[in-house]
Amino acid sequence: MDVSNPSWMTAFHEREDLAPFRSAGLALFAMALKFGYDDLETIGADAVVDGPDDKGCDVVYIDPEQKIAIVAQSYIASTLRQAASDNKAASLRQAMSYLIEVDAESVPERLTASASSLRQALADGDVDRIYVWFVHNCPGSENVRRELHAVEQTVHSIVANRFKNSTLSVIAEEISAATLEKLYTDTNTPILVNDVVEFKADSVLDFSSSDWSCYVLPLPATLLRDLYERHKTDLFSANVRDFLGMKAGDSNINYQMQKSLRERPQNFFVYNNGLTILTHRIEVNREAPPGISVAVHGMSIVNGAQTTGTIGTSQEAPATLM
């Protein structure tokens, strides 16, 4: 990678729609890379709060479809630096306090609408995860990561105090130049897991459609669990949505899915809709008893991230097929 002119930076500077948002545009760019947002101009018009008395945050965005909120501080160094300022990372603690804790009358006008919307979403259970980001164009640093860990702990404490029944996940992250490069590269590389995965299948249905070859077959859930433990969300590189996590409750589909995996594994195959996996190449050998030998060259799960994550986070190896 050319560190003086990385590919993400070229792509960012070519985004004329982000220029009016100045440094906050970098946070919007990171959001697009991570979550697949398209209309950043419209999102930015509502989400960017950068300016005097912004209390340390530049972007506040609530995505009801994915049930996430993103609060970001964004910084663009004009000259190459060894690291971004950890003070800017620490300012996110103040930002989160004003957004969800400080009395509404004391919240600056610039943040009033964002604070009100975020508090309402948290109270209604419309947000499962808050991403607290420090986005910048410098190398990552341990000092920044340490500050963000403290921010994460603070937000957990505030949420637990103000929203008693909340099971919110808080993810405080440094989105550095290296992170931006990986996110940008990943968006241009649909399949990140390039292992050759081999297993046996009892039966295989295959057909072709246009330029695609398709195979329908069962695979061991233990294989999915092992793959998830090794690769985590890289397994979903061609999927717009990662695994959304596990929270106890009748309304949480992933929790209920894991409950059925634990208590009624014989029914798990019937209860789920299966997976759709994109691969570079698949080899099926029907002349290799017992069973049919299958070799999958690289994979990305484009439908079934929740099922895979549920199996991957199970405490015990599941005795079922997918």
What local confidence, expressed as pLDDT, does residue 242 receive? Answer: 60
What local confidence, expressed as pLDDT, does residue 191 receive? Answer: 87
Domain boundary among 186, 202, 235: 186
Q: What's the rounded mean pLDDT across residues 189-210?
A: 88
Same domain, yes or no: 176 and 273: no
Could you tell me the two tokens for 256?
Answer: 């209920």
Please say if the pLDDT value at position 234 is more than 50.
yes
Hey, how many other C-beta atoms are within 10 angstroms of the C-beta on 259? 14
Whether residue 275 lies inside any domain: the answer is yes
Same domain, yes or no: 179 and 202: no
Against a cut of 0.75, is the pTM above it? no
Domain that holds residue 296: 190-312
Domain boundary among 159, 186, 213: 186
Same domain, yes or no: 284 and 217: yes
Residue 199 DSSP code:
E
Please give the span between the terminal C-alpha atoms of the chain, in angstroms, as a whole number. 39
Domain boundary among 171, 186, 201: 186
Using 50, 70 and 90 to split pLDDT, how confident is the model at 2? Answer: very low
Whether residue 319 lies inside any domain: the answer is no
Segment 261-293, tens digit of pLDDT: 677 767 666 667 689 999 988 999 988 778 899
Whether residue 2 lies inside any domain: the answer is no
Average pLDDT, the chain: 88
Same domain, yes or no: 122 and 219: no
Same domain, yes or no: 43 and 180: yes
Whether residue 321 lies inside any domain: the answer is no
Q: What's the rounded mean pLDDT across residues 300-318?
A: 82
- What percentage of the chain carries pLDDT values higher than 90? 63
Same domain, yes or no: 15 and 142: yes
Strand residue runs (E) in 137-203: 169-175, 193-201
